[in-house]
Amino acid sequence: MGNTPLIAGFDAGQTHTRCRLARLAANGALQVLAEAEGPGVSHLDAVDGELRFSQALVESLAAARNALQPHADAGDDLALTAAAIGASGIEAGSSVQPRGQRLAAAVLELAPQQVLVTGDERTALEGARGGTEAGILVISGTGCIALGRNASGQQHRCGGWGWLLDGAGSATDIGRDGLALSLQMADGRRQATPLRQTLWQALELAIDDPAAPQAIKALVVQPGFGAAGFARLAPLVHQHAVSGDADALAIVQASATALASMAAAIARQLQLEAPPVWPGGGALEHLPLLREGLATALAACQPGAHLAPAAGDGCDGALQLAAELADAGLRPR
């Protein structure tokens, strides 16, 4: 593999963190070498937020290095030259960004100028646009956010204010709304459907257990449940939507409409007439009805906007930013 600079790009979400390692050639080309996953992150101000952020970087990097090791030559230098991290909850210009910078530099054993920590929406946009001047990225995963850029380089963001305040369009909201619906079935406000049994079985609860509703109420406030706990139920709600459950379908469609409204707001702010909209995140990748609903809702609220395949992902964007850091560090001063 040689000893050209080794760089890392991290995509740190609430569910898991991906680390991708690459070599930066003299001509600026990137050769991707390995990728692996580690645990997810939370806002740095959350309980154990700094610890979770540090562990996510350390563990995902270690796993990527382990994946790379069998293909490395004896003399290869596996020390990082630069790294860029796109992390959930660390928006550019926020008060937590400098803390993220310091933590990342320390745990990755890099100088501050060799590290960039920013929001995962920024690295995802960089990866998605692949050199395209203007467009909008819409991410729906555990959380959701949208970010756009026009030809002048101006950016505007919508959403991403945390699942307790602004999760409409996310897997968390889909799962939570489905579970809320099941409790309305349990207390007689709604006609029971198979959705209730599916969700309760996933939580290891029986629908004929009179204590189950109280058990759900207690479960969702446990520290280990949170946004990810609700998001894990989203594929089950989607499954019933596909099967024709009207309530489940309404939940998925409401999320699709919420995502389209974010894209439309960005298009207005940046004066984008017919922008490409790049869908990203696990929910839009794995829940086809959500993706189809987004396309339909976009056509209604922002004619001309259209879904387009992303050129790359968040790790690609992070690697591009890391390459710029490495290149700057290698230039003669």
For residue 65, the domain's CATH number is 3.30.420.40
> What does the pLDDT look like over 75-133, one tens digit per residue?
567 789 999 999 988 888 888 999 999 999 999 999 999 999 999 889 999 999 988 88
Same domain, 52 and 175: no
> Which of the residue ranges 40-44, 64-68, 75-79, 108-112 would you say has the lowest mean pLDDT?
75-79
CA gyration radius, the chain: 21
Same domain, 151 and 278: yes
What is the enclosing helix (H) or strand (E) of 158?
A: strand 155-159
Domain that holds residue 66: 6-128+313-330
Q: Residues of the chain with pLDDT > 70: what percent? A: 96
What is the enclosing helix (H) or strand (E) of 150?
A: none
Q: How far apart are CA 93 and CA 96, in angstroms?
A: 8
Cα separation values, 258 from 35, 139, 225, Å:
33, 12, 24
Same domain, 26 and 81: yes
Q: How confident is the model at residue 25 (pLDDT cuts 50, 70, 90)?
A: confident
Which residues make Cβ contacts (< 8 Å) with residue 319, sequence separation at least 6? 7, 8, 9, 20, 22, 30, 32, 84
What is the enclosing helix (H) or strand (E) of 321?
A: helix 314-330
Residue 333 pLDDT > 60: no
Number of domains observed in the structure of the chain = 2
Residue 1 lies in a domain: no
Same domain, 258 and 319: no
Same domain, 220 and 243: yes
pLDDT of residue 78: 78
Q: In what order do the strands lie in the sheet with 115-119?
A: 30-39, 16-24, 6-12, 80-87, 115-119
Same domain, 306 and 321: no
Residue 113 lies in a domain: yes
Residue 174 lies in a domain: yes
Residue 54 lies in a domain: yes
Same domain, 237 and 123: no
